[in-house]
Chain A
C-alpha cells in the first residue's frame, strides 16, 4: 500500500530510523532520480539546465547551513565566507598543483571545515545573537584576509581563474556537462545529510538545539558536537564554494560577501529549519523565484507598461514581489515551505473525505 491510513506504527528502532518509512518513498525517490538524471537533460535546453545548476549548488550550501542552524541551533552569518575559503583553496590547488576536481572538492571542503572549526570556537561560550556577531566578524575577517593576501588570492584583483573540471580526459564545458558534474555532488550532499541527521551525531545535534544543558546531563559532549556541527556545516559551505568556482570559472571573494550569507540564512528559514527537504525547497525557491517573477513580468508587464520603462518596472517589481511572496509564504506557514508541503500532503491524504 502507499501508506497506512491509521498512522505510523514503529515497533523497532530500525523502523524508527529507516530512510523510507513507507514503500512509496522508494518509488518517489526513484521517480525523482529518473526525472532529474534522464528526463530533464533530454527536454531542457542549456538555459534551463543552467538554472538547475545554480539551484543545485545553492542546495549544497543551504543543507550545510541548515545542519548548523536548523539541527544544532547555532547561528552563523559567515556562511558565504566559508564558501570563499573553499573556493580559493580549490582554485589554488587546481592552478598550482593541477589537482583534478575529485581532489579539489574535498580539499576545499576540509579547509573550510578547519577554518569553520576555529570560527566556531566562540560558540563554546556564547549563544544566539552573540554568536551571530562573532560569526559576522569571521565573515569580515576572512574577506579582509583574502582581499589583502596576494599569496592566497592571486594578485591585485584577488581572483584566480579556475580551469574547467576534467572527467576522464573530457573537459566539462557546456551546461549539460556541468549538470552531470554538479547534480551528483548535490545528491551526495543530500544523502549524506539525511544519514547524518538520523545517526548518533544528528541526534546529539538535535539534543543540543533543544536544550543544551539537558544534552550535557545525558552525556553528550556539547563542546565537541558544537564544533563538529561547525566543521560539517563549513565543509558543505566549502564544497558549495568549490562548485561555484568550477561553475563560474573564477574564484573571487566578491561573489561571497555578506549579502550572500544572508541569502543562505533566508533559504534555511523560508525552507524550514531542521529539515533536509526544507533546505532544498528554500534554496530552489530563493534561486528560482526572482527568475520566475522576471519572466512572468516580461510576459505580463507588456500589457501594462510602455517599452523602455518596462525594464525599470520589472527590476523594481521583482524586488517587491520577491519580498512580498516570502512574507506571504511565511505568514501562511511560519515553519517554512517544508511544513507547507507536509500540509498539502496531509490534505490530499484524506481527500476528498476531509473532516
Chain B
C-alpha cells in the first residue's frame, strides 16, 4: 500500500503541474520552436537548437526587439508526429507569432494548420520544395534552399568542376531511400534532359549504414564523373569511407546540406579522412563570424565559457540563422506596428516577406524573401574539407534558378 500511496502522490503532483502551464505576459513576444534532441536526428538537434537560443539571448541582452523581450518556447518532439502536433497547439496557446517547425512529416502535417491559424512557420532545409511558392503556401517559409534548389546548385557546381560542359557526362545521385531523399529527383531529371548528361540513381535503404554495393557500382562499374550525395544521419560518414575504400576521389563529390556537418566528418574518422569532400551549406560554416564572437563575449561577460555546441559550427550556425531570420521578421512586424509588441502571425508573415539584404556579416546568404518566393532565393555555398575545417570554395550561389522557380510554380 505504501507504494501505491507514493504512486498516487507522484501522479497528482504531475497532474497539478500540468495545469500550471504559464501564459504569455505583457511586453513579451513568444516564438515556438520544435526541436529533436532525443530522436533519430539528435545529431542535428543537439547543436541546432542551442544556436537558436543563443542568438535570441544575444538579441535580448541588447534590449530585445524594440524594447520587447523574446521568449523561446522549445518543445522536443523526438521526430514523432503526434508530439509535434501537441507542441504546435501549445505554441498557439501561448500566443507564438512564429513557429520553427522541425522535420519533413511535421511540416506536412502543420501546413494546413498554419494557414488556418495564420501563424507563419519555417522549414529550413527540409519539407517540400513546392513550399517555396508563397502564393500557394502563404504561411510556410522554407527560408533556405529547398531540395530542388540544392539539386540545381549541385548540378551547377558539377558543371564548373567538369570544365563547363555537362553533355555526355555521367552523374551519379546517391540518396537515402525515403521521401525526403527522393525529393530532388524531379529537378535532377529535368536538368539531365536540359544539359544532356546521364543521371543514374543509387538508393540507399534505411538506416543507411550499408552501401557497399552501390558505391562499388558508382566507382568501378558506372565510373561516374561526379557524385551528388544526398544522405542523412549516419549515412554520410559511411559514404565518405566507402568511396575512399573504392578509390573514388572525394573531390568529385558534393554532399547535400544534411551530409555536411562536422559530426558527419567526425563519424567518418576525422578531417584527415575526408580531405577534398565538397559540401553544400545554406548558412555559413566555420566560426569566423562576428556574431559568433559577440555570443562568446556575452557568455564571457556572464562569467561562463562559450557553449561547447558552438564547436559544431555547421548545425549551430543553422540554428542561429533560423533565429536571425525569425527575429528579423518580428522586428519588421514590430516596426510596421509602430513599436507595439502586440503583433499577430499575419504581421510577422509580412515581416518575413520584407526581408532583404540581411546577411549578419556573411553567415546568412543574401536572401530576399518576397510574397511569391518564400525560399529567399535558394542560396547555397559550397565548402571544401581542407585541413581541420570547412573552407569556402564558391561565393553564395544558386543554379538554374529560373528552371527551379518554374517547377515550383507548375507544381
- CB-contact partner of B108 in A252, A300, A344, under 8 A: A252
Minimum distance in angstroms from B91 CB to a CB of chain A: 9
Within 8 A of A (CB), among B1-52: 1, 3-4, 7-8, 10, 13-15, 17-18, 20-22, 35, 37-38, 46, 49-50
Chain B residues whose CB sits within 8 angstroms of the CB of A185 once the complex forms? none
Stretch at the interface among A2-10, A95-103, A194-202, A311-319: A311-319
Q: Mark A264-299, 1 if CB is under 8 A from B, else 0.
A: 000000000000000000000001011111111011
Choose, from A31-39, A63-71, A124-132, A151-159, the stretch at the interface.
A151-159
CB of A167 within 8 Å of the partner chain: no
B80 at the interface (CB under 8 A from A): yes
B186 within 8 A of A: yes
Contact: A248 with B85, CB < 8 Å? Answer: yes
What A residues does B80 contact at CB under 8 A? Answer: 255, 259-260
Q: How far is the CB of A284 from chain B (nearest CB, A)?
A: 12
| Contact indicator B183/A252 (Cβ below 8 Å) | no
Contact B18 A295 (CB under 8 A): yes
If A147-B177, A312-B37 touch, whether A343 touches B76 (CB-CB below 8 Å) is no
Q: Which residue of A lies closest to B37 (CB)?
A: A315
How far is it, in angstroms, between the C-alpha of A58 and the C-alpha of B53 when the chains are bound? 33
Closest chain-A Cβ to B244's Cβ sits at a distance in Å of 29
B57 close to A308 (CB less than 8 A): yes
Contact status B14-A47, CB under 8 Å: no
Of A54, A164, A299, the residue contacting B85 (CB under 8 A) is A54
Among residues of A, the one whose C-beta sits closest to the C-beta of B53 is: A308
B221 CB-CB contact with A under 8 Å: no
Of A58, A252, A314, A328, the most chain B CB neighbours within 10 A belong to A252
Least CB distance from A123 to B in Å reads 27
Beta-carbon contacts of A307-332 to B below 8 Å, as 1s and 0s? 11001101110110000010011001
Q: Which residues of A contact B35 (CB under 8 A)?
A: 311, 315
Shortest distance in angstroms between A33's beta carbon and chain B's nearest beta carbon? 21
Q: Is the CB of B76 within 8 A of A318?
A: yes
**Chain A, residue nearest B40 (CB):** A259
Within 8 Å of chain A (Cβ to Cβ): is B185? Answer: yes
Q: Inside 8 A of A319's CB, which chain B residues have their CB?
A: 38
Asked whether A295 lies within 8 Å of B109 as measured between CB atoms, the reply is no
Cβ of A250 within 8 Å of any chain B Cβ, yes or no, is: yes
A249 within 8 A of B: yes
- Whether the Cβ atoms of A248 and B116 lie closer than 8 Å is no
Instruction: Please tell me if B267 contacts chain A, counting CB pairs below 8 Å.
Output: no
Looking at the assembled complex, report how far the CB atom of A198 sits from the nearest CB atom of chain B, in whole angstroms: 29
Q: Is A254 an interface residue (CB 8 A)?
A: yes
State whether the Cβ of B307 lies closer than 8 Å to any Cβ in chain A: yes
Q: Which of B8, B17, B93 contacts A46 (CB 8 A)?
A: B93
Residue interface mask B118-157, A partner, CB < 8 A = 1:
0000000000100000000000000000000000000000
Q: Are B179 and A157 in contact (CB under 8 A)?
A: yes
B20 — which chain A residues lie within 8 A by C-beta?
295, 299
A46-B92, A315-B38 known; 8 new pairs, CB 8 Å cut-off, are A50-B86, A147-B178, A250-B108, A252-B179, A254-B179, A260-B80, A311-B35, A318-B76
A residues bordering B, Cβ < 8 Å? 45-47, 50-51, 54, 57-58, 147, 156-159, 161, 164, 173, 175, 244, 247-250, 252, 254-255, 259-260, 287, 289-296, 298-300, 307-308, 311-312, 314-316, 318-319, 325, 328-329, 332, 340, 343-344, 347, 354
The 18 listed contacts between A and B (C-beta, < 8 Å) are A47-B92, A57-B82, A58-B82, A157-B108, A157-B128, A175-B89, A247-B85, A254-B81, A254-B105, A290-B83, A291-B86, A292-B14, A307-B57, A311-B37, A311-B53, A315-B38, A343-B4, A344-B4
